[in-house]
Amino acid sequence: MTILQEIKSVLWRSGRISLELYKIMVPIIIVVKILQELGLVVWLARPLAPVMQMVGLPGEMGLVWATALVSNIYGSMIVFVSLAGEHPLSVAQVTVLGVMILIAHGLPVELQIVRKSGPRMGFQALLRIGGALMLGWLLSRIYAWGGWLQETNVLLWQPQPESTDLLVWGLGQLQNLAMVFVIIVALSAIMRVFTAIGLTSLCVRLLAPLLRVLGIGSEAGTLTIVGMIMGLAYGGGMIMHEAHSGKVGSKDIFSSLSLMGLSHSVFEDTLLMVVIGGHVSGLLWARIIFTLVVIALLVRVVAWLGDDFFHRHLFKPVEVYSKPEPCCPGAIVPDRK
C-alpha cells in the first residue's frame, strides 16, 4: 500500500470512529447543558450528601461529584473551587474526592460509548459508581488509620469559570469535537506506524501475562493501553469500531472496557486532580492497583457464572458489519451470519 493510500485509509477509519462518537456525544452534551442551565444537577447532589459523609467528606461535596457524574472533570473542578473556601479539606479528603471523580465522571457520554460496543450500561454504571465509592471509602480509612495527608489542602490552580454565553459555549464544544477527530487521526496513524515496525506486537507480548490474567486478548490489548493513557472516549471509540468489525471477542471487549472504566486517561486526568491538591498515592497508584484487582476478580466471577448469565445480564452483542478497510469510502453491508 502506498503512503497516499495509507493516509486515506487512516482518515477514513478515523472519520468513521469520530462519526460514531459524535452520534453519542452531541445529543448528550446538549441534554447535560440543559440540565445545568435549569439547575437540576443540584437536585442530584442532595441524595449524595450521606454518601460523602460515609467517605469522610462534607455533604456539600456531593455537588462536586454530582457535577462530575453528569458533566466532566473540568466542571467538577470549578464547583470544587467555589466551595473550597467555605469547606476547607485535608489533602487526604481531596485525594478521596479526586479518586471518586476520576473513576466516575462523564457517565452519560462514556456509558453510551461502552454500550455501543456491547457491555450492558446498567452493570457498567454500577461498576464505576460502586468502584468509586469502594476505593474512596478504603482510602479514607487508610489515610485516617495512618494519620497520612492530614494537612490542610492548598489549591495549586484555580480554573476560570465557564462562560454563560451560549454562543461561546457552542463554539467551545465545536472545538472539542474537532479535537476528538484530530486526536483519533493521530492515534490511528501512530498505531499504524507502531504496527509496521513491530512495536505493537512487542508491547502486547510483554504485557501478555498481565492481560491474560485480566481476561483481555491480544486483539484488544493495544486498544486497552490506548484507553488507559488517552481516555475512554478514544480507546472506547476504537474498541467500538473493532466490535462492529467482529475482530474482537465479546469477553475481551467486556474486560477491556470494564478496565478502562475504572482507570482511563491516567496521566492527564490524574494531573487535573493533583492541581486541586490531591495526592498521587491515591489518584494514580491506588487507582491502578484497585483496577487490576477488581478486573482480575471480575473475570473469574464472570467465568464462574457462565456464558448464559454473561450474555443475559452483562453483554449484548452488537451487529457485525462486513466491510473493507478501503482507501476511500465504500458501502457498509450488515453481515447476517
The model scores a pTM over 0.95: no
pLDDT tens profile 142-187: 999 999 999 999 887 665 666 667 888 888 888 888 888 888 888 7
What mean pLDDT do residues 88-94 have?
Answer: 95
More confident residue, 139 or 167: 139
Start-to-end CA distance of the chain, whole Å, equals 30
What mean pLDDT do residues 47-56 have?
Answer: 93
What mean pLDDT do residues 82-98 have?
Answer: 91
In terms of phi and psi (left: phi > 0; alpha: psi -120 to 50; beta: otherwise), the region of 277 is: left
Grid cell for residue 181: 477527530
Lowest average pLDDT, out of 116-120, 164-168, 277-281, goes to 164-168
Distance separating alpha carbons of residues 164 and 169, to the nearest angstrom: 7
Contact 128, 100 (CB under 8 A): no
Task: Give the DSSP letter of residue 246.
Answer: T
Grid cell for residue 92: 487526604
Q: Which of 127, 125, 121, 119 is nearest to 250 (CA)?
A: 119
What mean pLDDT do residues 291-300 have?
Answer: 95
Q: Which of 114, 55, 153 is nearest to 259 (CA)?
A: 114
Model confidence at 300: pLDDT above 90: yes
Residues in the chain: 337
- Sequence ranges of the domains in the chain: 3-320
Distance separating alpha carbons of residues 211 and 206, to the nearest angstrom: 10
Mean residue pLDDT of the chain comes to: 85
Distance separating alpha carbons of residues 221 and 195, to the nearest angstrom: 13
Contact 130, 54 (CB under 8 A): no
Q: What is the pLDDT of residue 30?
A: 87
Model confidence at 332: pLDDT above 60: no
Q: What is the pLDDT of residue 157?
A: 67
Place of cell 490531591: 278
Contact 194, 226 (CB under 8 A): no
Distance separating alpha carbons of residues 65 and 57, to the nearest angstrom: 11
pLDDT tens profile 9-26: 888 888 888 888 888 888
Packed helices 91-103 and 287-305: angle between N→C axes, nearest 10 degrees:
40
Distance separating alpha carbons of residues 115 and 110, to the nearest angstrom: 9
Q: What is the pLDDT of residue 231?
A: 81
In terms of phi and psi (left: phi > 0; alpha: psi -120 to 50; beta: otherwise), the region of 163 is: beta
